[in-house]
Amino acid sequence: MNTFKKNYKQLWKNYNRKLKELHEVNFNSLNHNLEYFVTYLRFMRDYYILTEPLQIEEKENLKLAAIMTAVEAYDKYTSCKNKYYRTKEDGTTENLIEGTDEEVKSKYELERHFHWNTFWSLVSLNIENWTGKANAAIQ
């Protein structure tokens, strides 16, 4: 149990610092706050990894699987550009896949929108389960 307390304390400390930094940046720049939200989802994911088994009675823990998949979809959304473009030392970009500029842009946008829609679909379908409010409403 001591290990759990130590791990949780470190987890909380790291995310608390990051969330405070993001809060200040977003508050001062009137940003859309999405990175704050996703960072909090990462905290929830890591908390559930510490506190809940990945499998419950030989079935996958859907709450944990859904939040892990949502965070992964967001990460793919933010990084998929690297599959299609590379920034050269002079600041210009070059295509990393075959095709015209329009074809590459179209493929990139298609993948980017796919990950964006996947992220929000997972959030929409599962956010009540992630917060525990669904369990409280049943009881």
Q: What is the DSSP string of 37-84?
A: HHHHHHHHHHHHHHHS-SEETTEE-HHHHHHHHHHHHHHHHHHTHHHH
The structure tokens listed for 66 are 């859904």
The predicted pLDDT at position 132 comes to: 62
> In angstroms, what CA-CA distances link 138 with 62, 127, 133, 134, 135?
18, 16, 9, 6, 5
The per-residue pLDDT for 4 is 77
State residue 103's pLDDT score. 97
State the Rg of the chain over Cα: 19
- Parts of the chain with a pLDDT under 50: 133-139
> Which residue from 59, 48, 109 is spatially nearest to 84, judged by alpha carbons?
109
Q: Which amino acid is at 38?
A: V
**Is residue 82 a contact partner of residue 93, using CB atoms and an 8 Å limit?**
no
Task: Give me the residue label for tokens 């970009």.
Answer: 93
| Element of type H or E holding 134 | helix 133-138
Residue type, 112: R
Q: Where are the domains of the chain?
A: 1-51, 55-139
pLDDT at 53: 78
Supply the pLDDT for residue 75.
98
Model confidence pLDDT, tens digit, residues 92-115:
999 999 999 999 999 999 999 999
Backbone angles phi, psi at 100, to 5 degrees: -70, 170
